[in-house]
Structure 1
Amino acid sequence: MAAVPSNDTVGQTIPQDTPHAVSVSLPTWEANVAYEEGEKWVVDKMQCGYPRFFIHPSITRLAEGIVAKHGSPETEKAMLFPTSRVANRCVEFLTQQNSKVQPSSFRILDLGSQSGGTSSPNEKIIVPKVTAVLYPSDLWPTAKVFWQHTGEGISSRRAEFCQKAFDEQVLVEQTKTATKQHSKGPRRYQRPMSTDVSAMANANGTTKADETTVNGSGVQDSATFVEERFGRNLNVAFATQAKLAIRRRIAGSLIADSDLPDSLEEPADKSREYPEFSENDVYIYSCGMNAIYNAHRILRLANGDKKSIMYGFPYVDTLKILQKFGPGADFFGHANADDLDDLQRKLESGERYLSLFCEFPGNPLLRSPDLKRIRALADKYDFAVVVDETIGNFLNVHVLPYADIVVSSLTKVFSGDSNVMGGSLIVNPRSRYYKALKQTQEIEFEDNHFEEDSVYLERNSRDFAARIKRINHTAEVIADVLAAHPCVKKVFYPKHSDTKEYYDHCRLPGGGYGGLLSATFHTMEDAQVFYDHLDTQKGPSLGTNFTLTSPFVILAHYGELEWAAQYGCEASLVRFSIGLEDTETLRSRFEAALAVAQSKKDRS
């Protein structure tokens, strides 16, 4: 019999004792509802949360310190960003959303180290740098919306790094200490990085240090990297190599049928389908949603402002980005043939769009869009296609032939360890918009992925290929267990979906159906009892190396349950991200929780 549900772990990091964890324990259905309703017995215990929804304590501490020193704590708050360009976008959003507020109500402070550090002049170092937007406290809800939707805020590791310099009073306002720097070339081609580095970066944020290796492995272990920290500076060499390894790992996985290339070696097989595709077409962002936000932003800059299309029931923030930044979006939430027919009729009648965003497959319903038909419409009516393949992941599916831009959350299964954020954006070299998008990126792209985060992300992703195979296998087993049980109303999984043919069309040789699945139950009580008694970690996020369970619709759409239900997202839906546990052990845990739900049902 499964254990009696307990609230003992409410608010603890997942994994436990992980300072930069991206998930938090909400172990019972009751705890999830209480979190959504803001009940103190849950909210006050939260040590962390998903970073775009919950601002990490280290970031809050630094922001409050900056306001105390440079602002008015009684009337102002601060949002922290990696660069002033990002901060300006935040201010623009705040003023657009609050037309009665005067621009003078906002201040942007660029804070950096007053010296270049204590290392020798020839050593490439990273010194603390952060930009604060000081704004009226009553605009907090709007500022939080920008933070959540765009993913533009700083990471908790950057906050910790900058906090030390701030405490030592060497993180100071740069406008008071900086001297004018003369740069070669037009201003629009000056690409600032998120930290002060003594080497110029190219458009992907890498330097000449990328061409070397450390100890022959390409990237030094993160433990050694941390030991190399001195004072308030970090050595940049390891981080630039880590970023190159990440980009080559992504590029290699898209053009090879087998395991990932090792370390910094060039991908071995470029002949399969896209020989011209390389790591130079891969851009790393602070998180997956930041990659989506910037995909939308650069398309608007490159191709002009027109409405976009959200095709398929999306992860919540993608739709919000399309609606709130730019002219808006048309939403086709069912992702079926009827929706494509409706879209085609609009196009035939003269409606024109900037882009179509979709997920492959969708989250949490795991439906796969008909990318072949979407591509044909895009080619005929001149709009870009942006595919988020986070759930399928690029070792299972190959969506590049149908997309102009491919985005992914590297926070998820690419990392697996639930302790670092990251995102990628890939520009298809065969896209009709390739030249315009690359030129736009030359001007707009900033390497804002904090260097220490990059080192952790590279380390975590080294066994990406092996983990995917194991997760694929176990997820299929669990999907079959759920589908066979009378308490379960419906299982959502690409293999069991009515859109399986579209998924299979893009599935790689040897690729599986991924590690994410969902299930709805005949009654809310069945769902709650099952959830409470299931012996897995329970919290937001997905793609972790351990199985993670969440009442997804309750967490993501608590204030719009009726709206979500229109598209098949019922309140009883439970989402499962399958991890690396032994398959039979995990099967027994699911069967035990299902047995408890059935037993309670039989007694009622």
Structure 2
Amino acid sequence: MPGVRVPGAPTPLPFNQTLGETIPPDTPHAVSVSLPTWLSNVGYEEGEDWVVQKMQCGYPRFFIHKLIQKLAASIVAAHGSSDTEQAMLMPSPRCAARCKEFISSQIPKTDPSTIRHLDFVPDPSKIATQEPGRVLPKVSAVIYPKESWPAAKVFWQHTGEGISSRRAEFCQRAFDENLLVEKSSLTPPQTPRLTKGPKRYQRQTSVDLGLTNGHAKAPNGSEAATNGDNVLDSEQFIEERFGRNLNAKFAAQAKLAIRKRIAGSLTTNTDLPQSLEEPVDRNRERTRDVPEFTVDDVYLFGTGMNAIFTSHRALRLARGEMKSVMYGFPYVDTLKVLEKFGPGAVFYGHGNSDDIDDLERRLESGERFLSLYCEFPGNPLLKTPDLKRLRTLADKYQFAIVIDETIGNFLNVHVLPHADIVVSSLTKIFSGDSNVMGGAMILNPRSKWYSNLKQVLAEEYEDNQFEEDSVYLERNSRDFVDRIQRVNHNAEAIVDVLRNHNRVKQVNYPKYSPTKEFYDACRLPEGGYGGLLSATFHSVEDAAIFYDSLDTQKGPSLGTNFTLSSPFVLLAHYAELDWAAEFGCEASLVRFSVGLEETATLVKVFQTALDAIPSK
């Protein structure tokens, strides 16, 4: 695309030789991939072989993990035609049914019989399906003609409903050993034969091994380390902790601990199960300050996007079909969900008082909306919505407010009193390790729509977060409180470096935004301004030189424990750069998710990259 492909050799930094490698390195289930130079980002968007063929992974909703691709291909080979068909894998029959319906709706002339939905379950003759404490392999597949791939990919990306790479790995083993079979092939009624299956599925579970302060006792009596992939390899951890007979009781504890952390009643960095048994740390408790709020108002999802998609679907079921409002320049898929699922959306991309004035005029004229979605703050410009004014309009004109607090995060800001629903991506700073996906949806018990939403969710909500993913997410999030404080400090130091350099056109950060007062209105007493910021340069050429000279990890995603940089507008809006620029998101914008590194080291890294931009 003209204007973004900057010629020239990149600076010879170690990170710039890592094209296509996982971020973090050597992480089988990484959620980011190295795109270390400006040109590699352009090449990725253009689909050029020199980039695409080196991709070991990618952000999971944009790049379907190779383990998922492998399982999908295995299913198609056994139950379809590899020459003409592909499969999209979902965690439940309901998700698969929605995927099938969406593909059919996008290609109305397609023969419905060419899109099939198959459910795969444990073979009861080989696996004791009623055996307590065991996670069983299950997956659903939507098999469709290859030419329907674009529609299937849209569903996968926008809804976040697809399976995780860990579930794919788990189910692949069962599929290869004929333990996972297509449901209709079973002849009911069939009495399960009590067996533990092949020897590899008979290993001791964590219950068999015994737990000491949340650590598994290995067969030799030594205590297995469980605190970080750099201490114990991920696969080795799962093998030793669960023996591939994943323990459902331990996974349930992990999920409860995650929900309690989100609710604010668990803030200590303590192993399971002791952390669930300890009294609430009243000295550090972050309260949601909403009467009647409990952990039962927190719902977990496999991805943050699925939490957003489900919130939208639940509101439609609870209130009926109406258009929604997207207020502020959004993360790309949120707007797409509102536009593609349901009656559509009104988009206010500037997210300023003029937009609220226009919304109020529409409401006064009789127009009505289902909901208003906004981010707190927005991504990538870090603008903050005026929640007080929006809440006043919502109460007067009867629409719901859904706030994505991923960027601000609930240790810095407190937005639930202003929202009917809060959503968050747990993939980001809540996890920090960039090796697991997750999402959360939080209901406000004081919402006008609370009872209706609870009724809908009682029927519609499925806990599809794979148990192994829950274990990693719980482990990663134990030190969440301490990490947030350091990230806040480091981010402000980097902001100061960027704001004081004449080669930077604009720095975007809540502390220095024109909307700071709206952020501060919801900032907690000990809260900061978060770890995400962005900088716009005077030209794409300057941005490319800076980016290529920046000695940090470089790839998609955010909220990592290490600093992660990305030419965000280029990646998220490559096909619509002129449109994005209308809302202040220029192609020369580089986004930074600041990590836990030593502050002085980070400052030097950014200063060196800035100094590489030639004076003019």
> What TM-score do the two structures reach when normalised by structure 1?
0.90
In the TM superposition, what is the alpha-carbon distance from 1:277 to its structure 2 partner?
Answer: 1.2
1:37 aligned residue: 46
SS at match of 1:491: strand
Mark the CA change 1:542 to 1:404 in structure 2 (over 3 Å): closer, same or farther.
same
Q: Counterpart of 1:415?
A: 431
Helix, strand or coil: the match of 1:357?
strand
Q: Is the 8 A contact 2:321 2:370 kept in 1?
A: yes
Q: How does 1:426-445 map to 2 (within 5 A)?
A: 426-445=442-461
Over 3 Å counting, the alpha-carbon distance change for 1:180 and 1:509 in structure 2 is farther
Q: Does 1:544 align with 2:552?
A: no
What corresponds to 1:477 in structure 2?
493
Q: Which amino acid aligns with 1:340?
A: I
Aligned to 2:12: 4
Q: Does the 8 Å contact 1:36/1:558 carry over to 2?
A: yes
Distance 2:399 2:342 in 1: 16
Give the secondary structure class of the aligned counterpart of 2:102: helix
* Deviation of 1:267 (Å): 3.8
CA contact (8 A) 1:117 1:127 kept: no
Which residue identity does 2:255 align to in structure 1?
Answer: K
Q: Percent identity?
A: 64
Aligned to 1:533: 549
> Residue 237 in 1 paired to residue 246 in 2?
no
1 CA distance for matches of 2:142 and 2:83? 16
CA distance in structure 1 between the aligned counterparts of 2:187 and 2:506, rounded to whole angstroms:
61
* 1:273–1:219 CA distance, 2 compared to 1 (3 A): farther
Match of 1:493 in 2: 509
Q: CA 1:247–1:457 in 2, change beyond 3 Å: closer, same or farther?
A: same
In the alignment, structure 1 residue 278 sits paired with structure 2 residue 287: no
Partners of 1:43 and 1:120 in 2: CA distance: 41
Whole-Å separation in 1 of the counterparts to 2:288 and 2:116? 52
Unpaired runs of 5+ residues, structure 2, are: 1-9, 192-205, 218-225, 228-235
Deviation track 1:414-473 (CA, whole Å, cap 9, x = no partner) reads 000000000000011111111000111100000100000000000000000000000000
Q: Quote how far apart the aligned CAs of 1:214 are.
A: 5.5
> Aligned runs of 1:341-420 on 2, under 5 Å?
341-420=357-436
In the TM superposition, what is the alpha-carbon distance from 1:174 to its structure 2 partner?
1.0
CA contact (8 A) 2:116 2:144 kept: yes
TM-score by length of 2: 0.88
Report the counterpart of residue 577 of structure 1 in structure 2: 593
Query: Residues 296 and 181 of structure 1: is their aligned pair in 2 closer, same or farther, counting only changes over 3 Å?
Result: farther
Give 1:295's aligned residue.
311
Residue 66 and residue 559 in structure 1: after superposition, are their counterparts in 2 closer, same or farther (change >3 A)? Answer: same
**CA 1:224–1:138: 2 relative to 1, 3 Å:** closer
> What letter matches 1:252 in structure 2?
G
Shift, 1:104, TM fit: 1.1
Aligned length: 566
Shift in Å, 1:279 = 1.1
> For 1:382 and 1:124, how far apart are their aligned partners in 2?
45
Deviation at 1:229, TM superposition (A): 3.2
Residue correspondence of structure 1 range 14-25 to structure 2 within 5 A:
14-25=23-34
For residues 85-96 of structure 1, the aligned pairs below 5 Å read: 85-96=94-105
Shift of residue 5 of structure 1? 4.8
* Amino acid corresponding to residue 320 of structure 2 in structure 1: G
Q: State the secondary structure of the residue aligned to 1:369.
A: coil
Which residue of the other structure, out of 71, 89, 95, is the alignment partner of 2:80? Answer: 71
Q: Which residue of 1 aligns with 2:186?
A: 177
Matched residue, 2:233: none
Alpha-carbon distance between aligned partners in 1 of 2:132 and 2:97, rounded to the nearest angstrom:
31
- State the Cα distance separating 1:484 from its structure 2 match: 0.7
What is the match of residue 161 of structure 2? 152
Are the counterparts in 2 of residues 248 and 266 from structure 1 also a CA contact under 8 Å? no
**Aligned 8 A contact 1:26 1:539 in 2:** yes
Q: Show CA shifts across 1:514-569 (max 9, x none).
A: 00000001111111100000110000000000000000000000000000000000
What is the rounded CA distance, in whole Å, between the counterparts of 2:189 and 2:335 in structure 1?
A: 41
Is the CA contact 2:264–2:288 (under 8 Å) kept in the aligned structure 1?
no
Who is 1:197 aligned against? none
In 2, Cα distance between equivalents of 1:157 and 1:28: 29
Query: How big is the shift at 1:252?
Result: 1.1
Out of 528, 552, 572, the position equivalent to 1:556 is 572
Q: Quick one: distance in 2 between partners of 1:70 and 1:272?
A: 49
Q: List runs of 5+ in structure 1 lacking aligned partners.
A: 183-208
Please tell me whether the aligned partners of residues 248 and 267 of structure 1 are also in contact (alpha carbons under 8 angstroms): no
Q: Which residue in the other structure is 1:162 paired with?
A: 171
Q: Which amino acid in structure 2 is aligned with residue 587 of structure 1?
A: V
Query: For residue 226 of structure 1, what is the amino acid of its counterpart?
Result: E
Q: How far 1:266 sits from its partner (Å)?
A: 5.6
In 2, the alpha carbon distance for the partners of 1:266 and 1:149 equals 40
| Structure 1 residues 260 and 441: CA distance shift in structure 2, 3 A | farther
Secondary structure at the aligned position of 1:89 is classed as: helix
* Candidates 117, 121, 134, aligned match of 1:108: 117
Match of 2:534 among 514, 518, 527: 518
* Counterpart residue type for residue 249 of structure 2: A
Give the AA of the match of 2:239: V
**SS of aligned partner of 1:133:** strand
**Distance in 2 of aligned mates of 1:338 and 1:261:** 48
- Quick one: structure 1 residues 137 and 589, their matched pair in 2 at CA, closer, same or farther if it must change by over 3 Å? same
Q: Structure 2 vs 1, CA of residues 110 and 118 (structure 1 numbering), >3 Å: closer, same or farther?
A: closer
| CA shift in 2, pair 1:122/1:554, >3 Å | closer
Indicate the residue corresponding to 1:250 in structure 2. 262
- Residue aligned with 2:521, SS: helix
Deviation at 1:171, TM superposition (A): 1.2
CA distance in 2, matches of 1:180, 1:266: 48
Shift of 1:248: 0.5
Whole-angstrom distance in 2 between the partners of 1:391 and 1:71 = 43
Q: Secondary structure at the match of 1:406?
A: strand
Q: Sort the Cα spacing of 1:29 and 1:5 in 2 relative to 1 into closer, same or farther, 3 A.
A: farther
CA RMSD of aligned residues (A): 2.2
